Amino acid sequence: MTNVHVIKLNGQEWFRKFNDGTGTYDDLVTKDELLEVLLEEFVTHEIEVDNKDLARVLKSIPSSADRELLRNYIEYLERLNTE
């Protein structure tokens, strides 16, 4: 298992991945560099949503309750994106 340790050095935060299995550290990285590595490691699919396709799909859902639930979820995701 790989853990990430935060090292605070002269007021700056650095990160090192530590492998419990081998007992070794990777190189020091910044938060941005660590995020990039983690995204490459864990994100398996990228889904792009087009608003026109989304509107078409919403209209095709027969249940008004289901349409409303999906609309609320989409609005929630859009709010997360703007924060």
Structure-block tokens of residue 83: 């924060």
Domain ranges of the chain: 2-42, 51-82
- Closest to 55 (Cα-Cα) out of 64, 67, 65, 47: 67
Mean pLDDT in each 10-residue stretch from start to end of the chain (83 residues)? Answer: 86 91 91 92 88 90 95 90 80
Distances (CA, A) of 68 to 15, 54, 61, 74, 78: 43, 13, 10, 10, 15
Predicted pLDDT of residue 1: 62
Predicted pLDDT of residue 63: 95
pTM attached to this predicted model: 0.51
Q: Is the dihedral of CA 71, 77, 81, 83 positive or negative?
A: positive
